[in-house]
Amino acid sequence: MNISVPRRVTAVAALAALALAGLTGTSATARPAEAAGAAAAPDISLAAVKQHLTDLQSIATSNGGNRAHGRAGYKASIDFVKAKLDAAGYTTSLQTFTTSGATGYNLIADWPGGDPNQVLMSGSHLDSVTSGPGINDNGSGSAAILETALAVSRAGYQPSKHLRFAWWGAEELGLVGSKYYVNNLATTERSKIKGYLNFDMIGSPNPGYFVYDDDPTIEKTFKDYYAGLGIQTEIETEGDGRSDHAPFKNVGVPVGGLFSGADYTKTSAQAQKWGGTAGQAFDRCYHSSCDTTANINDTALDRNSDAIAHAVWTLSAGSTTPPTGKVFENTADVSIPDNGAAVTSTVNVTGVTGNAPSNLAVGVDIVHTYKGDLIVDLVAPDGSVYNLHNRTGGSADNIVQTYTVNASSEVANGAWKLRVQDKASADTGYINAFKLTFP
């Protein structure tokens, strides 16, 4: 949804930026987050967020109706989110722990780049209770931060701060996953986390708009966003410390977040400002089997998803690489010797300033009768190797595919090579074309 947000730099906005800079110890160079050159957050597609919810619902349905800790539906949820992040260029890791006699998983995804000493982290619990699929609690937060992370990749966003996203396990058993993460973080690593944003239940069917009342800068960032939409907010009071921000807050990390309500009842004053039904719970399906894709208010999910992207962009204050739109291609055929030495096709990149992007598009067009024979690498000008294909796909023909490579640590200009080696005898082929697109 396209909701316009005021982008003016007001004295108040400048003060907010200074407050955050104070939080991060860089006040000497503080600039308003939305000053010229800073990138505005993209609009987050409601349809994309809802598609993730549909996928999480399917995972629950095919795994006994839930995505709870220790059940197959939880691990399948983790694998689903991880695959999307890996494909988008994130560095992901699974942290395992044991609780209630089962292995639990936290998924941590780092966006390469930004100041490693200043981390902005966003998290949501991915587990459900055993009684239902957990779509509002907490597919909603999980899907929204996933889509925000994917938007970071699509934009080739280069934040000043380092961005990290987390999907927590076993929240429903007492914040087990997030406590495990915080307890196992060295104090030096902990002190690098300049803010933690938590999203647990953000699409409640009878929604309220609650903002956590913790770090003032984070709180103000969310409140300003809603003020720009003309929506009133309230402070979150439905059990402070009942979600994964609590372990961070307890060790002194500045925290914040959004919440659309669980089993508390909406008052008539709240129904007047937000619509919906007074005298009814914000989420009548809280922790029950009816917490399905039908248990979502689209407007709340949409606004909250956009608010998350706004906060991630504003609080990490970076710029988007100016688009170059440059394409470099080599269409000369290079035959690949059967079960033989590696061959290469080269493109010479010129006229691109600085480093290659985090989302370099590598177009591979290889004609071959057995792709399972082939190892395909992208080789950067300095010799760094990025593997694109490693003998998967069996007897299928050809590799015609665009790979997204995080090449942000490589200088853009120079000779880039597509290197192909055939490692098994009988089938043969040739490189048809090799293309690099600098978005």
Active site residues: 171
Q: In sequence order, which residues have a C-beta less than 8 Å from that of residue 15 and are 6 or more positions away?
A: none
Residues 168-207: x/- map of binding to Zn ion (CB under 5 A)?
--------------------------------x-------
Q: Is 285 in the site for ligand TRP (CB under 6 A)?
A: no
The whole-angstrom separation of Cα 67 and Cα 57 is 9
Segment contacting ligand TRP by CB under 6 A, of 5-13, 15-23, 239-247, 338-346: 239-247
Q: Which of Ca ion, ligand TRP, Zn ion, none does residue 259 bind (CB under 5 to 8 Å by kind)?
A: ligand TRP
Our CB check for Zn ion shows the closer of 220 and 249 to be 249
Our CB check for Zn ion shows the closer of 259 and 434 to be 259
How many other C-beta atoms can be found within 10 angstroms of the C-beta atom of residue 174? 10
**Minimum distance between the CB of residue 268 and ligand TRP, rounded to whole angstroms?**
21
The residue within the footprint of ligand TRP, chosen from 238, 298, 338, 397 (CB under 6 A), is 238
Residues 334-373: x/- map of binding to Ca ion (CB under 5 A)?
----x----------------------------------x
In the window 260-279, what residues touch ligand TRP (CB under 6 A)? 262
Q: Is 399 in the site for Ca ion (CB under 5 A)?
A: no
Q: Is 214 in the site for Ca ion (CB under 5 A)?
A: no
Q: Is 138 in the site for Zn ion (CB under 5 A)?
A: yes
The whole-angstrom separation of Cα 111 and Cα 318 is 13
Q: Is 214 in the site for ligand TRP (CB under 6 A)?
A: no
The residue within the footprint of ligand TRP, chosen from 17, 163, 201, 378 (CB under 6 A), is 201
**Dihedrals φ, ψ of 150, to 5°?**
-70, -35
Q: Is 239 in the site for ligand TRP (CB under 6 A)?
A: yes
Q: Is 243 in the site for ligand TRP (CB under 6 A)?
A: yes
In the window 162-191, what residues touch ligand TRP (CB under 6 A)? 171-172
CA dihedral 252, 258, 261, 264 (to 10 degrees): 30
Q: Are 138 and 201 in contact (CB under 8 A)?
A: yes
Residues forming the site for ligand TRP (CB under 6 A): 137-138, 171-172, 200-201, 236, 238-239, 242-243, 259, 262
